Structure 1
Amino acid sequence: MLRLLCRSSAGSQTLVRWARRSQRGGGLLLHGARSCTSSRRCHGTGSGEVNGQPAENGSGNALYRDSVLLPKTEFPMKLTGQKLLDRELQIQQECGFADLYSWQRERKAKNKFCLHDGPPYANGDPHVGHALNKILKDIRNRFEMLRGRQVHYIPGWDCHGLPIELKALGDLGTSGLSPLQIRQKAREFAEGAIARQKAAFQRWGVMADWDQCYYTFDGTYEAAQLKVFQEMHSKGLIYQDYKPVFWSPSSGTALAEAELEYNPEHVSRAIYATFPLVTLPPKIASQEGMESVSVLVWTTQPWTIPANQAVCYMPNAQYSVVKRADNSEKFLVATERTASIAALLGTDLQTVGTFTGSLLEGGICKHPTIPDKQVPLLPANHVTMVKGTGLVHTAPAHGMEDYSVASQFKLPVECMVDEDGTFNELAGPELQKLSVMTEGNDKVISMLKQCNALLKEEQCVHSYPYDWRTKQPVVIRPSKQWFINTESLKDKAKEALQKVRVLPESARSSLLTMLDRRTYWCISRQRSWGVPIPVFYHKESGEALINKYTVSHIAQLFKEKGSDCWWELPIETLLPPEVLKKSKAGSASDYVRGEDVLDIWFDSGASWAAVLEAESDSRADVYVEGKDQIGGWFQSSLLTSVAVRNKAPYKSLVVHGFAVSEKGEKMSKSVGNVVDPDVVINGGKDPTEPAYGADVLRWWVAESNVFSEVQIGPSALSSARDSISKLRNTLKFLLGNLQGFDPRLQAVDPKQMHYIDQYMLHLLREYSIKVTDAYSEFDAGRVIRVLQAFITRELSSFYFSIIKDRLYCDAEDSLGRRSCQTVLEEILDGVMRSIAPILPHMAEEVYLHAPGHDKEETLFKSGWIKSSSVWRRPGLEEAVEGACAIRDSFLSSIPGKNAARYDLTVAIEPGLLFELMESLQEEPTSTTSQLAELMMAARVNLATKMPRDLDPEALLNHGTFLINLEGGVIREESAYSIAVTPTSAARCLRCRRYTANSADCLCPRCQSVVSQAH
């Protein structure tokens, strides 16, 4: 009997005996949990076997060939070209991909999982960015569904906005078209883009009810959006004002911060201009040398000089009056900028006087280009000393900080720039009609030269905002617009964000920074294609009529008829008597409807209200989008939800990178590095563009580190195909060896299995836990790494190489073979389910060939990996891993040689390790024991010491193995010795092992199997 030393709670030692089971069965049951310090795995034997496939046919002799149970399966090793494409589409049809989402929504489930789909823009064909995003979401959704959760996932599209309007109209422009005509063309364009994108998403295997999607141009959606608008307006968070906004002359509309792209290589004509001090600040007027001083300012936007209303200084900074050494001109500048300005002018600057900025209060300058106009010196905290002179030219109409100064000091905010980006009549006859960014800029610089106010001009390369769609520079100009007061929402939004999990965590700071940058959000657009802002204006006073009664009525009309009714219905229907009465307004004929539409970021930012409100928590478990949405949808959704509900609309955020070329470049048609997902799947005209199918595209997404830029190109796709091909090879081996096996009838209880089979179930359980954890962390790349390591190390190099003799040559119904097949079926099932979220087509294809289920059943309706806690058997690891340690010593003694040609003698002093090895081999010598199978040797001799008559030519080796049980309570380091000698046995004609008595007869095992068959 085997004995195991263990401690009782009182600390005394007791003996626990293990019941030994038969050599072929027998479960090793050790007392207590294990905390093993050994993580040894056996390596390949060098016997010419690759990934579970026999290098030889295994029959040895034609006479016995038919008695060898080689793998058989109809599962194809390879699928390429049109066969692959046809098979994927066939799988989608046969396995009910289209109905899977509806099926899982109808089943009862204790837990739910909600992934809210950020709407892709309906303005073009599907691209690899879509593939990265949609497949990443689908992998998680399929995993959660397999785990038994009810998945809530409604795909959506962002359908409004200028880009769609421009593409729909093409060369027509808007001239002569009514808003309804423009909207009709834009709708048709958007619907075409949606149809193309939706078809692609379905082809990629994305699970959803594609007949129940959400669209921001749908009346029901628009009504939900107006409800959010109304609630924010009633709280005073939405207001109308005349203030500077980012304005795109190329688009003819206001833009929000999220619609800007900053061009870091924009070149501006920067100038140093002088503003003569006509009234000295009272606190420095008495100082000597203060006469004829000019304030020196620096700006990269000379065209804004005519709109100047003040010059700002930093109250706490030091300022100096300096005199040029070459012509005695005197300037007021920040003290710390003096050296830089002297270098710029190429002359020394002598300091006349230095003082704190606060002493500049009360100073007044002469405007350089407008006669008789004077502007004050004013304190402001936005003044910096990084560039320029430390004194900032302030034009309230054309700068956000400038406007804040104007608000504080009641300065006029006069707009000199029209919507097309040209100077208007307020700028004067010399500038009127000139484009501010080009000839207008030139003219202002020329005017400054004429009045001797231009000190220096230089080129400045800096970051400048561009329209995200037209790629043209924007200007800042005041306009009467509708705004959201994000300043009052910021703190609540930050607080809500602290409760949100962000992956990767590094993206959190970017989210907070973007919130800080947005002081207000301009939500009105001067376009036709969008959700109308539900406001009416009094014909005479221009006063806005907007309240909960008017907005609620319009929302109901939109729900019933769609937002086209804003233009279609008469004003009397839009403003019926009962609404006017509640609003305490006059007649409908006194009003005109507003012409602005809502910013599309408000459209999509209100999606939680249209899509999630029906859910019990009304929050999504996760939002998953690209990093461009940090300042876009993530933020607009957060702000609207916090404003209305005081909570974030999501519990977690996953922020992924962009798809780029294999050189790390942004994809561009002009560069020719665009990867079309349709070409990836179906192949292209070029021979270098084979048809990879959808699963290769999905593997590429899963394998990538999605938290950084994701590279795609021929080598990445070819690598993905090769990885899937290797996986198919393994699955084919598993299926082939399960031919004729029905786990429902023939499975062996784990306690009766060979120890190595039990050990593989233990490893399979560890594998399933790792895979489940990785999927839960949105880390499909780790899933693939764990999968490939499991197949390479645990299966191909270890288990498959050891069990093939038992699989092929034992009797078909023997306990040993059925034990092995039971484990192979569990491995097949576990691997198949673990790859299913990533490779749904191949997983379902494997499932069609797999044993143990009804034919009409599909994998995705049958659940996640079914690992059992019973598979974790304490002490089992020590038995197998102890043997593996000995095997490592054995194989290292015969490098590159076939282990089957050698006899192995193992000597271990009495103790735990000997007892463990004795459980694998009862007899002192055996060719068929579990220990002999593990070693893959011809014969194994097990003894407590080396025999005296040992062959002097034997190869000797020594080692130790640490047994660690009961969490370290039982620790024993055991030494062992091995001796390796060439076997004297002959090679069996059937199994090809060196276990036969002579070259012309079978070994005893094969003789028994063949005689039973006859």
Structure 2
Amino acid sequence: MLLSRVLSVRQVLARCARKSQPGCGLLHRTLSFSFARPQSLNSGEGSVQPTETGSAQSQYRDTVLLPRTEFPMKLTGQKLLDREEQIQKECGFAELYSWQRERKAKKEFCLHDGPPYANGDPHVGHALNKILKDIRNRFEMLRGRQVHYIPGWDCHGLPIELKALGEQDTSQLSPLQIRQKAREFAEGAIARQRAAFQRWGVMADWDQCYFTFDGTYEAAQLKVFLEMHNKGLVYQDYKPVYWSPSSRTALAEAELEYNPEHVSKAIYATFPLVTMPPKITSVEGLESFSVLVWTTQPWTIPANQAVCFMPKAQYSVVKREDNGQLLLMATERTSSMAALLGTKLLSVATFTGSQLEGGMCKHPTIPDKHVPLLPANHVTMTKGTGLVHTAPAHGMDDYSVASQFKLPVECLVDEDGKFTEQAGPELHSLCVMTEGSAKVISMLKEGGALLMEQDCVHSYPYDWRTKQPVVIRPSKQWFINTASLKDKATDALQKVRILPESARGSLLAMLDRRTYWCISRQRSWGVPIPVFYHRESGDALINKHTVSHVAKLFKEKGSDCWWELPMETLLPADVLKKSKAGPVTDFIRGDDVLDIWFDSGASWAAVLEESDSRADAYVEGKDQIGGWFQSSLLTSVAVRNKAPYKSLVVHGFAVTEKGEKMSKSLGNVVDPDVVVNGGKDSSLPAYGADVLRWWVAESNVFTEVQIGPNALNSARDNINKLRNTLKFLLGNLHGFDPRAQAVDPKQMHYIDQYMLHLLREFSMKVTDGYSEFDSGRVIRTLQAFISRDLSSFYFSIIKDRLYCDPEESLGRRSCQTVLEEILDGVTRCIAPILPHLAEEVYLHAPGHEQGETLFKSGWIKSSSVWRRPGLEEAVEGGCAIRDTFLSSIPGKNAAEYNLTIAIEPGLLFELMESLQEEPTSSFSQLAELMMAAQVTLTSALPRDLPPDTLLKHGSFLINLEGGVIREETAFSIAVVPTSASRCPRCRRYTSQVTDCLCPRCQNLVTQTQ
């Protein structure tokens, strides 16, 4: 009989859940992980024991097949920690990655590890990231793919250098001494982080990691640098960069943090017009006026070279009512300026910006210096006056104007953020951000050029390492021309899958804002830029011959050799000859090192395999949108015209349960080591690694991820409830060998076949969840399956058959076969998330040899044979009838009632007949499903029903051939209290005499005596 699915499992079970009765069937349906404990299970799924103490009951206790297992219900404290570490050793966690790399596999899954920074102890951000990656890797390995995952560390950079040196005076140290201290510090941080990652159960070959300070890695990085240089993408220039006085180095955009609470002294200053623009000389009354500008960086005024206007905007010369001063400003800014000045501004003349061209202004702090009025597209009308003070040395847009109009780029600020001698005696040696700004304001006031000053709270860039403000100043640096790469990078991103998709906009926006990338740093701890400079001219010597030679040396000796080896070795005669350069004595080696974002951004070239050097996935926090994701994309597109990744997964940050950023100063940092091993304070329990992993898996990682006692306690409780179910399954499989005693699905009870069908659906949902990096969906699917389909439904129904049928009976073996499949499926389902628990269960589970491990045995096994036509309709039709039955006896025990089911001849009647062939039965599959004392199946209700009979009616819709035939069948039920007595062995109401065994139990006990 080919019947299509009639009602979805969810619909049927949800409907049945509305009619709840303790101990019966489809009850208490919820997506939470609360286990319903049917009355007949008494002590719960894990430890079922009879509660009666009377002599009639106790004498048959040994004949009941109760669960037996050594699997513990709960592990806490040191026992939990010891067990997890024991599992790691017994089950070969350390060798698992190497084992799967050696086996044959049709497909590879490559997750490229973004290198964590080697500057401190492991933190919860590491846990979130590494465990998230490991869950996916373990899933892919279980499903038969060969996983390519090489952990790495980003080892260079200023934070490591600063921490390694502490308060030590670096002026007394050579670059090699600094590098040695930094290397030792980084190696210590790597060791601590690696030990933590291993303890969390992260699968990898921990003896084969990559480090950005390894010579082989550095050589691969220089190869990328060379290829980009050969394509003209790398160049040296003197232009404004973000400069950190506190670090004394240039910074890239990705190394900035913006402080929204920064306070600057904003000023309105006047630039008196000394040469009238030719196009407005004929306007009367405009013989003398001043151009009004606004800036939040007064210290840049001495470096001013021009005032810019917007060509298409409208400008007005206005007269102050209070003092008659004439000022030029954008027309649309006059009202706000009038309010700010507290006086009326009367319009004298109005004209377009283009008419201002050719005008010259007097510099407000430098006598006899005149600066031009120039058009510029970056001028806006949102703030200020619509006229922009332009200092090419101290602004990116300003520099563009200088390049267009050939203005001088005069830097008046040194590497310490102080005015140089060129700024004049009044400003020399003053810090530009503090006393320097104050002095400039004072000079403007003395010269009559200061109209107003005020505090301005605004977002300002800070050095992400030192947390100090940066300045923009020109410096001779090495750059990558990212403007020429933008279109290619944007096209490459279109082919990349991004989770969540909303992150794509941020990636594209950051890419669009980046016109060039400063890749040189003035530090010692990094990969040297392989460039030599002519002693006299300062010209750079860099080409394929010099870089290739240096890369070869780095691969053999490491980059320390840049300082260790003599120039004759770094720049040998044959290289000089190929470079058509003069003698080696004419050259000196460069002092700059590469930006660490270039270090890590070249990791695809050093780590990914040549066969298809694109990773299936990059998985990092959202801060890498402007960092590693982008530097990797730019370098890969530049060299290979493609992205280094097929998909990007962007997760949020770990925060406190209040949603606060963690900070040592606030004392709200959650230490993953304390989470796993417990704290010195007894109030901080040892949760173990699996609780930490469950927290990661359960969280919505695409937002900020909260962690704290509530989240961790919830994770622990959920795992303990899961252990309860696993213990129940293991206990009821005692003595069962699936290899010899499993029942063919075609011979199983319908309810057992139906559970295999549900298990298959469950496995497909779980597989989809893992494939989407959505382990939270996996957990929700698991919890629903256990709570709804197992605890409240299947476990309640099979109790009698499982405990009271003969041990070798077909019905019991059928049930055990399904329980073993469920145990296997659930255990494999949780394995990527809870590898320690999964392997612990596998050690207790039947059906495999000593020494076998779960992770070497594959993914969830399900078969299309488990889906049989008519199976769902039969069981779900029965569920619909039981729903009506239970609703007629709310709060009562179904086992105390006889049930008569009346269905007109047709498909539904035939389906119910497949569950109960005889008219009346207490042990049919239909009686088991109803959990009633006795069930009678008939085509019409008898007329002589007892007066206390409860009558109810319902209907069930059957779809045939995918909806071609639809048949809704009505049914009626009659419910009466049973007259039978309770059997002292099985406790069902199937005995004809009080305290005597029912026929089924009598027969079984007699045979075993």
The answer to whether TM tops 0.5 is yes
CA distance in 2 between counterparts of 1:966 and 1:557 reads: 73
Letter in 1 for 2:866: W
Structure 2: gaps of 5 or more residues? 24-38
Give deviations 1:626-668, integer Å, cap 9, x for gaps. 0000000000000000000000000000000000000000001
The SS at the match of 2:84 is: helix
Counterpart in 1 of 2:914? 919
Q: SS where residue 295 of structure 1 aligns? A: strand
Alignment check: 8 A CA contact 1:875 1:965 kept: no
1:366 aligns with 2:337: no
Give runs of aligned pairs for residues 749-760 of structure 1, distance below 5 A: 749-760=744-755
2:22 to 17, 23, 46: 46
Partner of 1:19: none
Equivalent in 267, 278, 283 of residue 282 of structure 1: 278
From 938, 959, 977, give the equivalent of 2:972.
977
Residue identity matched to 1:485: N
| 4+ long deviations beyond 6 Å | none
Residue 490 of structure 1 is matched in structure 2 by: 486
1:166–1:173: 8 Å Cα contact kept in structure 2? no
Partner residue, 2:812: 817
Matched letter for residue 323 of structure 1 = K
- The corresponding residue for 2:74 is 78
Q: Does 1:343 align with 2:314?
A: no
Q: 2:2 aligns with which of 14, 27, 31?
A: 31
SS for the counterpart of 1:331 is strand
Structure 1 distance, partners of 2:639, 2:268, is: 48
**Cα 1:886–1:765, aligned 2, differ >3 Å: closer, same or farther?**
same
Residue 617 of structure 2 corresponds to 622
Paired residue for 2:223?
227
Q: Distance in 1 between matches of 2:777 and 2:50?
A: 36
Q: In structure 1, what is the Cα distance between the partners aligned to 2:915 and 2:201? A: 47
Partner of 1:501: 497
How far apart in 2 are the matches of 1:229 and 1:371?
A: 47
The aligned residue for residue 466 of structure 2 is: 470
State how 1:694-709 maps to structure 2 within 5 Å: 694-709=689-704
Aligned-pair Cα RMSD in Å: 1.0
What CA distance in whole angstroms lies between the structure 2 residues aligned with 1:83 and 1:173? Answer: 49
Determine if contact 1:484/1:520 at 8 Å carries over to the other structure: yes
The yes-or-no answer on 1:887 pairing with 2:859 is no
Shift of 1:35: 5.7
Please, which of 784, 787, 793 is the counterpart of residue 779 of structure 2? 784
Could you report, residue by residue, the CA deviation over 1:700-750 in whole angstroms, capped at 9, with x for unpaired residues?
000000000000000000000000000000000000000000000000000
Count, aligned residues: 984
Query: Deviation digits for residues 934-991 of structure 1, max 9, x if unmatched?
Result: 0000001111111111112111111111111321112110111111111000000100
Q: 2-side partners of 1:318 and 1:1011: how far apart?
A: 108
Which residue, 839, 842, 845 being the options, matches 1:844?
A: 839
Q: TM-score, normalised by structure 1?
A: 0.96
Instruction: Determine which of 349, 355, 380 is the counterpart of 1:353.
Output: 349
SS of aligned partner of 1:40? helix
CA distance in 1, matches of 2:1008, 2:476: 94
Q: Match of 2:235, as an amino acid? A: Y
- Indicate the SS of the match to 2:171: coil
How many angstroms apart in 1 are the aligned matches of 2:879 and 2:548? 74
Q: Is the 8 A contact 1:486 1:639 kept in 2?
A: yes
Displacement after TM superposition at 1:894 (Å): 1.1
Give the aligned residue type for 1:57: P
User: Secondary structure at the residue paired with 2:57?
Assistant: coil
2:418 aligns with one of 419, 422, 425? 422
Match of 1:409 in 2: 405
Q: Please say if residues 49 and 66 of structure 2, whose CA atoms lie closer than 8 Å, have aligned partners that are also in contact.
A: no
Give yes or no for contact 1:37–1:962 (8 Å, CA) kept in 2.
no
How far apart are the structure 1 equivalents of 2:136 and 2:249? 39
Distance 1:869 1:313 in 2: 73
TM-score (norm 2): 0.97
Is the Cα–Cα contact under 8 Å of residues 311 and 376 in structure 1 kept in the other structure? yes
SS in 2 for 1:271: strand
SS of the equivalent of 1:196 reads helix
Q: Distance in 1 between matches of 2:384 and 2:811?
A: 85
What is the aligned partner in structure 2 of residue 449 from structure 1? 445
> 2:574 matched to which residue of 1?
578
Aligned to 1:766: 761
Match of 2:35 in 1: none
The answer on whether the counterparts of 1:482 and 1:523 sit within 8 Å (CA) in structure 2 is yes
- C-alpha distance after superposition, 1:259-283 (max 9, x if no partner): 0000001000000000011111111
Q: Which amino acid aligns with 1:46?
A: P
Q: Distance in 2 between matches of 1:615 and 1:898?
A: 67
Determine the C-alpha separation between the residues in 2 that align with 1:301 and 1:706.
Answer: 40
> Which structure 2 residues correspond to residues 607-686 of structure 1 after superposition, within 5 A?
607-612=603-608, 614-686=609-681
- CA change 1:886–1:35 in 2 (3 A) is closer
Name the SS of the counterpart of 1:844 in structure 2. Answer: helix
Is contact 2:4-2:959 (8 Å) kept? no
Aligned with residue 480 of structure 1, among 463, 473, 476: 476
Whether contact under 8 Å (1:58, 1:65) holds in the other structure is: no
> Secondary structure of the equivalent of 1:321?
strand
Deviations 1:97-151 (A, max 9, x none): 0000000000000010000000000000000000000000000000000000000
For residues 457 and 54 of structure 1, the distance between their equivalents in structure 2, rounded to whole angstroms, comes to 78
Higher mean alpha-carbon deviation, 696-705 vs 54-63, is at: 54-63
Give the C-alpha shift of residue 775 in structure 1: 0.2
Cα distance between partner residues in 1 of 2:8 and 2:214: 62
2:268 maps to which of 261, 265, 272: 272
**1:1000, distance to aligned residue in structure 2 (A):** 2.8
Is 1:593 paired with 2:593? no
Alpha-carbon shift at residue 54 of structure 1 (Å): 6.8
What secondary structure sits across from 1:438 in the alignment?
helix
Q: 1:53 to 1:934 in 2, by over 3 A?
A: farther
In structure 1, the residue matched to 2:861 is 866
1:427-452 Cα offsets, whole Å, 9 max, x none, are: 11100000000000000000000001
3-state DSSP of counterpart to 2:172? coil
Say which of 701, 712, 715 aligns to 1:717: 712
State whether residues 7 and 876 of structure 2, in contact with CA within 8 Å, keep that contact through their aligned partners in structure 1: no
2:433 matches 1:461: no
**For the Cα contact (< 8 Å) 2:45–2:727, is it kept in 1?**
no
Consecutive unaligned residues in structure 1, runs of 5 or more: 1-29
Shift of 1:615: 3.8
Report if aligned partners of 2:6, 2:872 keep a CA contact under 8 Å in 1. no
Structure 2 distance, partners of 1:954, 1:686, is 63
- Is the contact made by 1:741 and 1:821 (CA closer than 8 Å) also made in structure 2? yes
Contact 2:498 2:648 in 1 (8 A): yes
Amino acid at match of 1:767: F
Q: Contact 2:48 / 2:66 at 8 angstroms: preserved in 1?
A: no
CA shift digits 1:319-360 (9 cap, x unpaired): 111110111101110111000000000000001111111111
Q: Secondary structure at the match of 1:431?
A: coil
Residue identity in the other structure for 1:622: A
Q: Find the counterpart in structure 2 of residue 120 from structure 1.
A: 116
1:302-321 equivalences under 5 Å are 302-321=298-317
CA positional deviation for 1:34:
3.3
Residue 967, structure 1, aligned to residue 962, structure 2? yes
Q: Does 1:1004 align with 2:1004?
A: no
Are positions 1:942 and 2:942 aligned together?
A: no
The residue identity in structure 2 corresponding to 1:111 is: K
Structure 1 residues 561-609: Cα deviation after superposition (integer angstroms, max 9, x where no partner): 0000000000000001111110001111110000000000000000000
Instruction: Indicate if the aligned counterparts of 2:300 and 2:391 stay in contact, CA closer than 8 A.
Output: yes
The answer (yes or no) to whether the contact 1:58–1:990 under 8 Å persists in 2 is no
User: What is the CA–CA distance in structure 2 between the aligned matches of 1:419 and 1:965, rounded to whole Å?
Assistant: 81
State the partner residue of 1:238.
234
Aligned pair partner of 2:925 in 907, 924, 930: 930
